[in-house]
Amino acid sequence: MPNKFLRMKIKELVNLKDKESIFRFFNDRINTYNDELNAFTEIIPDPDRTSGEGPLNGIPYALKDNILARGTKTTCGSKILSNYKSVYDATVTKRLRDSGAILMGKTNMDEFAMGSSTEFSAFGPSKNPWDANRVPGGSSGGSAAAVAAGLVPFALGSDTGGSIRQPAAFCGVVGYKPSYGLVSRYGLVAFASSLDQIGPITRCVDDAVEVAKVIIGFDPDDSTTIEHPLNFENEEPKDLTGLKFALPGEMIEYPGLQESVKEVFIKMVESIEKAGGIVEKVSIPSLKYVVATYYLIAPGEASSNLSRYDGIRYGQRKDADRYEEVVNQSRDFGFGDEVKRRILLGTFTLSAAYYDAYYRKALRVRKLISKEINEILSKYDFVINPTSPIVAPKIGEISDPLTYYLMDIYTIPANLAGLPAISLPAGAYEGLPVGFQMMARRFEDVRMLNTARILEKLSPSYDENGLARIAERWY
């Protein structure tokens, strides 16, 4: 099959008449390369290709393994759910099926989306297509690796503290987290319900828009979705002239920012200024608290959401004589170390003795962070920063949990404030991709996406077709 399909955007693929050739091409790539990448945990041998003709008709895609698709396994990367089969479709899955998209399989992830590398998966780590000795990021690492290697044109991930954008940055592709409430979470296995959001990983902003048009929309099955129709046909700005970009000093002066990442990011900033954009350094003092705030709120919500996995109602059961032993042994067997760590942390902070001292205080700081970011966005069009302070580390290189937690320092603010954010490939350092993140006011997703289209043209990471480059290894 011709590699020309790797050089075509989704809209161009949709317009091709020979949909079976497109399917066979990507199906062959998955079967050829997945053993090397471990991007998929389940490959559907003969996916349904008769689901109707819609805006994504005939386009193959992959689904992160915490999003339900009827008849497929939904393991969340955990032993405790290794045998669970979805009995219904998530809303996003149904909408994609109705649009004509073809589900090729489920992608690997950090267990219950708790991680930044996809190393915390019960099914082994996924590999970064740019360097198989390195992580693809997480928790949506399998989705990012699949798109970056050209195994599928797009994939869905979930983003609780950066789990779409950070792996997109590590793998040199586009990761878009919509405003909280635009995309239904019905059928997404919950990690932290006030932070989780589903979004696309693609090779260009145009493709992210095509997917967003399908999955965004009010859903009566999810009370957190909002009736806020977006006009994707808004005229795209022709240039950056007059647009104001805020660069928080707390982010660019963060001591954990690798010099190589900073160098690539600054080159992108200089390109924005040459193109007519206005970049000004600002201060958002509360940003220094984002990691601590997130790791009090998210584990607290997780400890509540994961309490259902007891081997009785949900999850694999380990038999024992007493109820307490069944629960304890089932959880001890089924949950990995990182999930146990976060459940313990969350249960501790929600306990009566420490609720006011930790959890309630974190909720107040979350409001402060949101207030300060929104005050900046009332004066500027966008907030920009590197997506991750580092390039993709080697598999097994990091063992300290706190180091992993700090990898999300640039992506967490958008989740705490419920804002839209997007990561674009901005260049590379010694062959390893570097991501550029842009954050906008809530529900100004279209304006952000339209501006991101212009920024893509300033990046050296794109080919002549406007698609993020993939390593020659995968052509």
| Secondary structure element (H or E) that encloses residue 425, with its range | strand 421-429
Rounded CA separation 425/433 (Å): 7
Q: Which residues sit opposite 201 in a β-bridge?
A: 155, 175
| Distant-in-sequence contacts of 347-355, Cβ < 8 A, 24+ apart | 347/303, 349/296, 349/299, 349/300, 350/300, 350/303, 350/304
Torsions phi, psi of 337, nearest 5? Answer: -60, -40
Residue with tokens 């009785």: 312
Question: Has 99 been annotated as catalytic?
Answer: no
Q: Is 106 a catalytic residue?
A: no
Write down the catalytic residue from 78, 99, 126, 139. 139
Whole-angstrom CA distances from 24 to 18, 19, 200 are 10, 9, 22
- In angstroms, the Cα distances linking 3 to 151, 158, 325 are 11, 29, 55
Cα separations in angstroms, 375 against 93, 283, 290, 413? 36, 11, 17, 14
Could you confirm whether 139 is annotated as catalytic? Answer: yes
Choice among 163, 179, 303, 423 that is catalytic: 163
Q: Spot the catalytic one: 9, 19, 51, 64.
A: 64
Which residues are part of the catalytic machinery?
64, 139, 163
